[in-house]
Amino acid sequence: MLRKLLLLSSLCLYLAAEAHIFVYHRFDDPRYPSTNTTLKELEREFTYLKTHGYKVIPLKKLAIALKRGVPIDPKWVVLTIDDGFKSFLKALPLFKKFGYPFTIFVATKPIEGKYPDFLSWKDLRTISQYGEIALHSHAHPHLCDLSDQKIIADTQKAIDLFQKHLSFIPTSYAYPYGEYNERVRKIIEKFGFEIICNQNRGAIDKTSDPKDIDRIALVGKSNLKSALHIKHLDAQWIEPKIYPHDRILRSIVAHIDPIYKKAQVYATGYGWKKVAVKDGVIVFHPNYRLKKRRVRVIIKVKDSKISTKLLVRSRYGAK
């Protein structure tokens, strides 16, 4: 009987398991403290993962698990790096030392233009022996501010450069600045990427959408231990759908598991507010005047389960 109970407990753990994807930008580059990670901090984080039994896996392995419905291991961690800064070469020996795979999302215009702060195509061919090279656009634009045609042109230009210099088509994509809306998402999805990453704080479970994957930034003053406690909240967002044209966030409406009776709601610039959950429905009318062009709205329930909705102001809307 005890054996059966242990097996059942283990099965429940895997069915409710959460994987985590982390994103870095620069390494040992004090010029940009808000996006920098020192090598000492990186080694401390890698050591913590190793000593606490976490398994750093390739992004593609997580994508396959989500696609096939394979159980998520609660100790899975994915490491990603955005932009393609040359400072990654300082960190590469640590990735090799720990044997940790990674995905580096690169914008191709700085590489093609031989910008001094960025990796070269030669660097990327070397790096590809140890991790995945993936796409982060061509010119690293604010996609929500581009027309459909310009988004398509930017993405295709980058893919063409990958084929020319690396001889393959990238299968993973990350939005520049982590910014997107439904219009942008639909365009990027048409390119057939297996996995598309945002930069919304959250975790990954069996209900996560491979075409809208949350990642937690480990830059500046980050806390790996705290980030590993974050869990995924499966939420159906009803409102808001887009950044409000008059910049007034009037309603936050979402469906979550009815087991929750209380929640907290966050909006950029306004902090957290306690809200009631009735029969699995959150209805909150904040009437906030939004001050920034990019706003995150977050729902949080107990056990650090969260769901994030990103709103980006754009003259093209979010059709």
pLDDT in tens, 184-234: 999 999 999 999 999 999 999 998 999 999 999 998 878 999 999 999 999
Q: Say how many C-beta atoms besides its own lie within 10 A of residue 257's C-beta.
A: 12
The last residue of one of the domains, among 170, 196, 230, is: 230
The last residue of one of the domains, among 230, 250, 278, is: 230
pLDDT single digits (tens) 170-185:
999 999 999 999 999 9
- What pLDDT shows up at residue 317? 54
196 and 248 part of one domain: no
Residue 317 lies in a domain: no
Q: What are the tokens at 188?
A: 């990027």
DSSP state of 254: E
Residue 122 lies in a domain: yes
- The CATH number of residue 279's host domain is 2.60.40.10
Rounded to 10 degrees, what is the CA torsion of 38, 41, 46, 51? Answer: 170
186 and 301 part of one domain: no
> How many independent structural domains does the chain possess?
2
252 and 107 part of one domain: no
CA distance 195 to 182: 16
Residues 6+ apart with CB under 8 A from 101: 56, 57, 58, 79, 95, 130, 131, 132
DSSP reduced 3-state for 222: coil
Q: What are the tokens at 213?
A: 């994957």
44 and 149 part of one domain: yes
Residue 215 lies in a domain: yes
Buried b / exposed e along 49-78 (16+ C-beta atoms within 10 A): beeeebebbbbbbbbebbeeeeebbbbbbb
Residue 288 lies in a domain: yes
What's the mean per-residue pLDDT of the chain? 93
The reported pTM is 0.92
CA distance 75 to 16: 12
- What pLDDT shows up at residue 16? 54
Q: Say how many C-beta atoms besides its own lie within 10 A of residue 153's C-beta.
A: 14
- Upstream peptide bond of 240 is cis (omega within 30 degrees of 0): yes
CA distance 187 to 80: 23
Residue 41 lies in a domain: yes
Length of the chain: 319
pLDDT single digits (tens) 134-176:
999 999 999 999 999 999 999 999 999 999 999 999 999 999 9
301 and 157 part of one domain: no
Residue 297 lies in a domain: yes
Q: Which helix (H) or strand (E) holds 32?
A: none
Are the C-beta atoms of 188 and 155 separated by less than 8 Å?
yes
Q: What's the domain range around 280?
A: 236-312
Q: How far is CA 52 from CA 18, 74, 291, in A?
A: 15, 12, 41
The last residue of one of the domains, among 191, 212, 230, is: 230
Q: pLDDT at residue 105 above 70? A: yes
Mean pLDDT, residues 63-85: 95
97 and 145 part of one domain: yes
Mean pLDDT, residues 79-103: 98
155 and 266 part of one domain: no
- What pLDDT shows up at residue 319? 44
Q: pLDDT at residue 8 above 80? A: no
Residues 6+ apart with CB under 8 A from 92: 127, 130
276 and 214 part of one domain: no
289 and 221 part of one domain: no
216 and 276 part of one domain: no
Residue 218 lies in a domain: yes
125 and 258 part of one domain: no
- The CATH number of residue 108's host domain is 3.20.20.370
Residue 276 lies in a domain: yes
- What pLDDT shows up at residue 12? 44
51 and 118 part of one domain: yes
